[in-house]
A and B are shown apart, each in its own frame.
Chain A
């Protein structure tokens, strides 16, 4: 039993770098894509905003597991043939972007119109008002929600194991299938993800404070 636990931890350690890499990459592209979607949905005319709204709703309405299946097993039928790691990264990015975009959109909406009217009266061009006034004002407001979503996404990376991405869960489950020590491997998975969530939560709070301080300076 101890041997199975140790072996599981070793497998977790081998999978951890890929889990972190795919999470970091997914969060980064998800944030960028989410920002663009949120901005388009806030600023662009309805004709552009509506289709995006439908996509966001669809992504939020379908389980991440099903989305991964669709992309990885369904993709080849429409010419999207991705390796497991790339498929995992794309899936996580799109999934994250849907949620991030809603946070950004709410952030844009929360900037009081009067603050922009004041800029308009002074002759400040719209794009400068967005850059110098709107974005800094919303940054502080959206930071905690973005950080919270990023932390949630680290748990979602476990699902990538079913499209054979050799990340943490995939490796530890490998030990399970080889040794039939399912109780031990599952326990290790639970402990490792819990620790990861706590660590990223602490890290994101730290980052949040640093960004807040940089913005306030």
Chain B
């Protein structure tokens, strides 16, 4: 068995006397896709932001390939719910900026690499457009290309389709699925249960900052679900059923 690429050890985050994450332990093997689900406010975003180094941790450690991470050290890439594309730059410039400033690539090489990353998310032809001239799904795919171009060891997705119209989610989820199939190590927070069930090698269920269950999707979405997980999924299924009947 190989070593984990990402290790989360006894991770804690407190703000004042609010406990947001409580002793989270998680080992992620290379090539794994970890789905993270749980009710609103359970700490899913906080977990990803602590792994990314964007939120301060109160205890424990996050290691990528045995080294403690810092934001921007290239270990972890993050895709945000709100895309966070820079509006004054074209799609290509959004992807190329860090290649130029951080990797110190010459402009032409950076642009070529940016175009390759855009092609990988199906946007090869739209590099010259500003974010405002792209649909939400296209914008999120540019954001994914921007992260991919820096070749992080682990990719984090925090509700990548939550800000999208339902008909635009598929194109983004397909890109994430392709990346997982190509062996990208990732953690994905999402409320798209069907997607999470099909994508994930393991699913982590968080509640009140605690990992209630971490198991392969067949177990977690099936008969071996913990009672708290089962009740959460039941509410979710009820909502889907209601939507289908309505």
- Give the contacting residue for B84; candidates A112, A125, A132; CB below 8 A: A112
Q: A215 and B88 in contact (CB under 8 A), knowing A124-B102, A128-B101, A132-B101?
A: yes
User: Can you offer 25 A-B residue contacts whose CB atoms are under 8 A?
Assistant: A114-B80, A114-B82, A117-B71, A117-B78, A117-B80, A118-B78, A118-B84, A118-B143, A118-B146, A119-B97, A120-B54, A120-B71, A121-B78, A122-B98, A122-B146, A123-B98, A123-B102, A123-B150, A124-B98, A124-B102, A125-B101, A137-B88, A140-B88, A215-B88, A216-B88
Report the nearest B residue to A122, measured CB to CB. Answer: B98
What is the total number of residues of chain B having a CB less than 8 Å from a CB of chain A? 24
A residues near B77, Cβ cutoff 8 Å: 121-122
B residues near A128, Cβ cutoff 8 Å: 101
Residues of B participating in the A interface, judged by any CB pair closer than 8 Å: 52, 54, 71-74, 76-78, 80, 82, 84-88, 97-98, 101-102, 143, 146-147, 150
| SS class, residues of chain B in contact with chain A | loop
B residues near A121, Cβ cutoff 8 Å: 52, 54, 71-72, 76-78, 147
- Give the contacting residue for B86; candidates A125, A137, A140; CB below 8 A: A137
Report the nearest B residue to A114, measured CB to CB. Answer: B84
CA distance A114 to B158 in the complex (A): 12
- Give the contacting residue for B72; candidates A112, A120, A133; CB below 8 A: A120
Q: Quick one: which of A115, A120, A123 has the most chain B CB within 10 A?
A: A123
Query: Nearest 10 pairs between A and B by C-beta?
Result: A123-B72, A122-B98, A118-B84, A123-B102, A114-B84, A136-B88, A121-B78, A120-B71, A115-B84, A128-B101
Report the nearest B residue to A113, measured CB to CB. Answer: B84
Report the nearest B residue to A129, measured CB to CB. Answer: B101
Residues of A participating in the B interface, judged by any CB pair closer than 8 Å: 112, 114-115, 117-125, 128, 132-133, 136-137, 140, 215-216
Closest CB in chain A relative to B57 CB, distance in Å = 16
Q: Quick one: which of B74, B77, B102, B150 has the most chain A CB within 10 A?
A: B102
CA distance A47 to B76 in the complex (A): 35
CA distance A216 to B129 in the complex (A): 12
A residues near B147, Cβ cutoff 8 Å: 121-122
**B73 close to A123 (CB less than 8 A):** yes
A residues near B98, Cβ cutoff 8 Å: 119, 122-124
Closest CB in chain B relative to A125 CB, distance in Å = 7
